[in-house]
Amino acid sequence: MDNLENSFLPKGYEAPKTEGGYFKFEQGQNKFLILSSAITGWEYWNTLNKPIRVKTAPESIPSDIRLDKEGLPTKTKHFWAFAVWNFKTEKVEVLQITQSSIRSSIQSILENEEWGSPVLTYALNVGRTGEGLDTEYTVTPSPKKVIDKEITDEWSRLQEAGFDLQELFAGGNPFSPNKIIDLETKEPKTA
């Protein structure tokens, strides 16, 4: 049996690294640099456990909305989504924020004339403490500084290759392999 189990995957197999992903707030400090303007919309989860994103708030409860434990429709949430550089993973990721406390803190910072727009200007640190309904967030801007060339080069590459946040509204992936082109070979890039 050992030989069968060991031969299931090739020796030394490692899962391929996918391009992009979604930024998740972990416990402690979460540092990121905003790379793009935000798109805004509304999100709910359907009965197939898939996120559905729309540009305007639904006027009625969607027929395919997921139900909670009591059989009641789950909430539709307002969101902001934008591209970020995640300093922990050192990758471009999509950050979607539904937490009103984080959105209002970021909005206060960008409306302050001393900070202004965070797009490619300064990093933000979101601190997360607690779990579930006891989760609290703090948002702190980092001092403005010149952005590393590695970050701006990677963001430029993705933009040239067709990165598109609007894909979220179509149920697609902004990093969709059929849109990501290897700029050296000009061929579609696969994960």
Confidence class of residue 16 from pLDDT cuts 50, 70 and 90?
low
- What's the confidence (pLDDT) of residue 11? 77
Q: What is the pLDDT of residues 29-64, one digit of tens each?
A: 999 999 999 999 999 999 999 999 999 999 999 999
Please determine, for residue 15, whether its predicted confidence score (pLDDT) is greater than 90: no
Spans of all domains in the chain = 17-170
Q: Indicate the pTM of the whole model.
A: 0.81
Please determine, for residue 183, whether its predicted confidence score (pLDDT) is greater than 60: no
Please determine, for residue 9, whether its predicted confidence score (pLDDT) is greater than 90: no
Q: What is the mean pLDDT of residues 162-183?
A: 78
**Contacts by 78-82, CB closer than 8 A, 24 or more apart:** 78/40, 78/41, 78/42, 79/40, 79/41, 79/42, 79/43, 79/53, 80/38, 80/39, 80/40, 81/38, 81/39, 81/40, 81/41, 81/165, 81/168, 82/34, 82/35, 82/36, 82/37, 82/38, 82/39, 82/165
Please determine, for residue 2, whether its predicted confidence score (pLDDT) is greater than 50: no
Q: What is the pLDDT of residues 118-157, one digit of tens each?
A: 999 999 999 999 998 899 999 999 999 999 999 999 999 9
The least confident of 73-82, 151-160, 182-191 is: 182-191
| CATH class as words, domain 17-170 | alpha beta
Interatomic CA distance for residues 146 and 187, integer angstroms: 32
